[in-house]
Amino acid sequence: MLEITFNLREDGKVPYYVQLYRHIRQEIKSRHIPSGTRLPAIRRLSEHLRISRNTVETAYLQLISEGYVESRPRSGLYVVELEEDFSLSEEQAKQTVKRKVAADLKPKSPNIPEVRCDFRHGTNDLRHFPFSVWNRLTCQTMQEHSSLLSFYGDPQGELSFRIQLAQYLRQSRGVHCSPEQIIVGAGTQQLLLLLCQLLGTERQSVAVEEPGYNGAKAVFAQLKFQITPIPLDEDGINLEFLQRSGAKLVYITPSHQFPFGMILPIQKRLKLLQWAAENKGLIIEDDYDSEFRYQGRPIPALQGLDTRGSVIYMGTFSKSLSSAIRVSYMVLPEPLLEIFREIKILLEPTASLIHTDTLEQFMVEGWWEKHLRRMKNIYQKKHAHLLSLIVHYLGARVRVIGQYSGLHIVLEVLNGHSESELIRKAIENGVKVYSTTPYWINPDLESPPRILLGFAKLSEIEMEDGIRLLQEAWA
């Protein structure tokens, strides 16, 4: 049985998974590991090298994605047959690897150092994506439901998929809706565009959280809506400002405010619904990542409290499954549904029927529930680990904003540097962190800078690397 043993550098300059991936790649290219060899199981190798399973898994995924290794169902990972130009002499292979490694490590320009950790927001941890199940179900869709493939599908999304979705939304998010109220689309922005069309010219102004999701504001701005920013209190949108704004439409992220992460408490939710009732207002509730709440009871969607049809509920599979799948949905109250029915004939679906049918089977067979539970555990551990790293390495120089939910955190940095200085210093030390300024209409120049850190894709080791680099950069 193949063993992999080599010297792991522990100086922190190159992450372990990169070292492991490069070592195996070199061994394959130089044919020390011949084609057809089965790689050691993740657990065995992680125990052998005393590194985490995530590290081994990430290295393996990289080898798969570059075509050195393939996964054989229920059997393991095998080294593939290399093409001719890979069959270099050992010396040639070493030279090629050296050149490639050097190129990989070389800064793209003298001023841009290698990125060793990227806290990018909007990513997923695909190391835990059930690829084999998804592939099987996609094949099933292509074969057993092949009759579907010559159609565009229902502009609203297939009814059978919407039935699954309605059941999930009720059970998991407390959303009260029938499958007929759900519109499936390829992303929140696409659905917002459609929604604005349904709202028509009457509601040409919209109130938004300040700061708030720029993707939504971009849609409103493109459609020439007048956008009114409403400041946030510690517990979410300031309702007095909303009242005074005279707006009749508000876009809001009550279950995990984007980007600051606070949760709108029940009293404020009820008051917001009262505002809608008194002002003939409409609330667009974007529930984008609410599956991931790590402390306390789950907070049901605002839509579930609404008895007057004032809430348009929006959600997405981008956080919980993969942003590349592009399946999102909205739930329309009856009056808007009537307008939708009138124009439905003119529309084609935007989400792929192949993906939604696969997702439907994924839900029917119970994989979705399992996957969600698994990802919640994984993200919860990552979230807790990130918080402990922040306390350990950054201590009192920062304050974490947000409430134990979602796939990102916001750091308020109290060392006197500006936001752009903090980001520049981080990049110079090989770590990418992100500005929250784009989420403001009128950026807040008074408060200490707030920096956005996404963590979904990073392993615990990568996060530790990243926070340590931030400590050095911001010292």
Ligand X SMILES: Cc1ncc(COP(=O)(O)O)c(C=O)c1O
Task: Please identify, using beta-carbon distances, which residue of 35 and 323 lies nearer to ligand X.
Answer: 323
The contact mask relative to ligand X for 103-122 (x = CB under 6 A, - = no) is: -------------------x
Place of tokens 């199940």: 133
CA distance 18 to 15: 5
Q: Is 76 in the site for ligand X (CB under 6 A)?
A: no
Q: Which two tokens stand for residue 300?
A: 């049901």
Give the number of residues in contact with ligand X, rule: CB under 6 A.
Answer: 14
Please state the closest distance from residue 418 (CB atom) to ligand X, in A.
24
Q: Is 58 in the site for ligand X (CB under 6 A)?
A: no
Q: Which stretch binds ligand X (CB under 6 A): 77-85, 102-110, 183-191, 231-239?
A: 183-191
Please state the closest distance from residue 119 (CB atom) to ligand X, in A.
14
The contact mask relative to ligand X for 205-224 (x = CB under 6 A, - = no) is: --------x-x---------
Q: Is 443 in the site for ligand X (CB under 6 A)?
A: no
Please state the closest distance from residue 193 (CB atom) to ligand X, in A.
11
Q: Do the Cβ atoms of 56 and 42 come closer than 8 Å?
A: yes
Q: Is 189 in the site for ligand X (CB under 6 A)?
A: yes
The contact mask relative to ligand X for 373-412 (x = CB under 6 A, - = no) is: ----------------------------------------
Task: Please identify, using beta-carbon distances, which residue of 252 and 336 lies nearer to ligand X.
Answer: 252
CA distance 61 to 378: 18
Task: Please identify, using beta-carbon distances, which residue of 217 and 268 lies nearer to ligand X.
Answer: 217
Q: Write the DSSP string, 314-362.
A: EEESTTTT-GGG--EEEE--HHHHHHHHHHHTT----S-HHHHHHHHHH
CA distance 13 to 104: 13
Region 113-172 residues binding ligand X, contact defined as CB under 6 A: 122
Q: Do the Cβ atoms of 130 and 371 come closer than 8 Å?
A: yes
Structural Rg of the chain based on CA atoms: 25
In this structure, are strands 226-233 and 205-210 parallel, antiparallel, or unpaired? Answer: parallel
Give the distance, in angstroms, between the CA of residue 79 and the centroid of all CA atoms in the same chain: 31
Please state the closest distance from residue 190 (CB atom) to ligand X, in A.
7
Among 360, 471, 102, 283, which residue's Cα sits nearest to residue 463?
471
Q: Calculate the alpha carbon distances from 298 to 167, 228, 313, 410 in Å.
A: 17, 30, 17, 21
Please state the closest distance from residue 187 (CB atom) to ligand X, in A.
3
Q: Which stretch binds ligand X (CB under 6 A): 70-78, 96-104, 186-194, 202-210?
A: 186-194
Place of tokens 């929604």: 195
Q: Is 286 in the site for ligand X (CB under 6 A)?
A: yes
Question: Which residues neighbour 195 within 8 Å (Cβ) at sequence distance 6 or greater?
Answer: 284, 312, 330, 332, 336
The contact mask relative to ligand X for 244-263 (x = CB under 6 A, - = no) is: ---------x----x-----
Task: Please identify, using beta-carbon distances, which residue of 116 and 382 lies nearer to ligand X.
Answer: 382
Q: Which two tokens stand for residue 228?
A: 């009114």
Task: Please identify, using beta-carbon distances, which residue of 101 and 441 lies nearer to ligand X.
Answer: 441
Please state the closest distance from residue 431 (CB atom) to ligand X, in A.
21
Give the distance, in angstroms, between the CA of residue 73 and the centroid of all CA atoms in the same chain: 27
Question: Which residues neighbour 120 within 8 Å (Cβ) at sequence distance 6 or greater?
Answer: 432, 434, 454, 457
φ and ψ of 83, to 5 deg: -75, 170
CA distance 223 to 217: 10
Among 26, 124, 290, 316, binds ligand X (CB under 6 A): 316
Q: Is 435 in the site for ligand X (CB under 6 A)?
A: no
Task: Please identify, using beta-carbon distances, which residue of 113 and 122 lies nearer to ligand X.
Answer: 122
Please state the closest distance from residue 468 (CB atom) to ligand X, in A.
27
Task: Please identify, using beta-carbon distances, which residue of 315 and 449 lies nearer to ligand X.
Answer: 315
Task: Please identify, using beta-carbon distances, which residue of 29 and 382 lies nearer to ligand X.
Answer: 382
Q: Which stretch binds ligand X (CB under 6 A): 92-100, 184-192, 242-250, 430-438?
A: 184-192
Please state the closest distance from residue 93 (CB atom) to ligand X, in A.
42
Decide: residue 200, CB within 10 A, 0-12 exposed, 13-18 middle, 19+ buried: exposed
Decide: residue 35, CB within 10 A, 0-12 exposed, 13-18 middle, 19+ buried: middle
Please state the closest distance from residue 86 (CB atom) to ligand X, in A.
38
The string over 7-30, giving b where at least 16 C-beta atoms fall within 10 Å of a residue's C-beta and e elsewhere, is eeeeeeebbbbbbbbbbbbbbbbb
Q: Which stretch binds ligand X (CB under 6 A): 181-189, 193-201, 274-282, 381-389?
A: 181-189
Q: Which two tokens stand for residue 60?
A: 């393996």
Positions touching ligand X (CB under 6 A) are 122, 187-189, 213, 215, 253, 258, 286, 288, 316, 318, 323, 328
